[in-house]
Amino acid sequence: MERGLRRIWTAFLLLLLMFALTKTSGQAILFYGSVVDSEGKPIAGAELAVLKDNLLVTTVSTSPDGSFQLQLPRGDYVLKVYKLGYQPVFVSFSATPERGGSIGSFVLREGVEVTPEALRFTVHQGDRIPIRFSVSNKGLDPIPVTFYLEAPAGWDCRIVTPEGLSTSEVYVLPGSSRNLTLLVSIPYNATSTATVRLIARWAGLQKSYEFKFNVEEKQLVILELPLKEVASYPGALIKIPLRLWNLFPIETTFTLAVSGPAGWIATLLDPSGVSVSRLTLPPGSSRNLTLIVYVHPATASGNYKLVVLVASDFSKTVREVAVSVESRYDLLNLTIPGERLNVTGGSAAQVTLALKNIGNAPTTAFISAKSQAPDILCRFQATGTSEMSTYVLPGEEKIIPLLVEALPGAQAGDYLVTLTAAGSSSRVEKSIVVRVEGSKALEVGTANLFIVAAPGSAGVANVNIANTGTMPLNVTARVVSAPPKFSVTPIPSSATLRPGEKLVLSVSVLVPSNASEGFYNVMFLVEADGLREYRVIVVEVTGEAQLGFFALAAPLAALSFMIVLFSQRRSRR
């Protein structure tokens, strides 16, 4: 009996122990905490999902103050903390009674990250700067990201895709990124420092990025002024060419001004000679101008300054020209193409001279060309003689053609030609050595230049041609003029004659059948390497039924001879 009671009591204790263990293992354990952002601010509506073996156990959401509570049975779990727009947080933990209570705060970071290549830039006025940046989505859901730009007045900013399309919103898939470019155009009137702000907004969140620009003045060559210094004299008129450029991307109006010493007159002229003080130019275009300055006659010798100002809405350019006023004088400079000139006797060559007045006063220059040999002739094209004069302004250069001729009788050798130019206060002398390499001479006869022919018949004039020079000649003959319907043929029409060689040129003239009686002129030309000789053949056309004098005289003479002979024979009988 006692043994039975013991067994019953033991069984009861075992059942009680099993009940206690079962009740303890099924009891829920309370956990609580909060969810905040990277700045410590509470996040309302964040979702906390409890996973066990990749299966969802339970979920809770944070209250407006970011707090939450969880009741979990004993076990090992994975806690996922997440909200749209943030990066998720995964935490592994074991739920035991001794670990219950506060589990602290979970920090969620922004799920969208904008990463620019740089935030500080040194630029120049008028530059266009591309700033590349990437947009990454580190959350669990696709997110549209909208961009806003804040820039100083006059700054042109826009966001473009890699394809060059402007955009203000991109759609970013989870775990991926998008590459974009911020294009910033700096105006020409930008100040020394400026800030452009890029604001990214997504899922009720936003973050801004500031781009700092250190703007330096751009050295634009708006005004091209070739001269920085110029020499002048009292009463001089200075002309300085310049060029105005519009290097801005829009049509721009420029204000122009010139200032100089008291009593001087200075202005800017356009190509038509009109004075200008304002010009409007299309982008990328230019305009040629001339700075005209009149130096007052009472100006004392010394150094003076001219100031040219060009201003627009975007820039201001100042250029200075130093003017050295000196006493009045001329200074001639004579330039020749070379010191030697090769010619052939009987031919000529042209020499181009350049006369420049590098002084500060105008002058009349007297120029002469003299040869030491009478067979070398010099003639200026302007006068046809060996002397000429011309008026030369300060800084002006004049081109003077000079013809140097070697007569056919000139002997081979070197001859000196002296060139002289004299002004009011200066004189310059240059020399040229003329080398005669042989001579060219052509002799065309003047005899037998008369032809008698009847209509429909032909006549021939034989002309003697001789090369009397020392160089071979290529001779050609051609008709210059002839009466209508007269056929004139030179034979041969071309030939080469060695020195001393002669040639008979036969000029055949065919008279048309309807030609009237009278005298006609036929002109022909004989050319030989630059030498020319003209000759005229006189053609006498007689009546159609008549014979010429010689044709009638011959039969009459024969008849007279026969009569005399017959008379002598009869007298002998």
**556 pLDDT band (50/70/90 cuts)?**
very low
CB 374 within 8 A of CB 469: no
According to the model, what pLDDT value does residue 8 have? 60
9-13, 20-24, 397-401, 455-459: segment of lowest average pLDDT: 20-24
According to the model, what pLDDT value does residue 425 have? 78
- pTM of full prediction above 0.75: no
Q: Is the pLDDT of residue 101 over 70?
A: yes
- How far is it, in rounded angstroms, from Cα 435 to Cα 343? 6
**Helix, strand or coil, per DSSP, at residue 567:** helix
Q: Rg (Cα) of the chain, in Å, rounded?
A: 57
> Per residue in 165-205, pLDDT tens?
999 999 999 999 999 999 999 988 787 899 999 999 999 99
DSSP 8-state class, residue 542: P
According to the model, what pLDDT value does residue 569 have? 53
Q: Which residues contact 16 (CB under 8 A, 6 or more apart)?
A: none
Exposed / middle / buried, residue 76 (Cβ in 10 Å: 0-12, 13-18, 19+): exposed
- How far is it, in rounded angstroms, from Cα 299 to Cα 276? 26
- How far is it, in rounded angstroms, from Cα 68 to Cα 105? 10
144-148, 166-170, 243-247: segment of lowest average pLDDT: 243-247
Q: Which residue has the tokens 């309807």?
A: 514
> Per residue in 257-277, pLDDT tens?
999 999 999 999 999 999 999
Amino acid in position 568? Q
% of residues, the chain, pLDDT over 70: 90
What domains, with CATH codes, occur in the chain? 28-108 (2.60.40.1120), 112-216 (2.60.40.10), 223-325 (2.60.40.10), 332-439 (2.60.40.10), 442-541 (2.60.40.10)
Q: Encoding tokens for residue 543?
A: 């009546």
According to the model, what pLDDT value does residue 9 have? 58
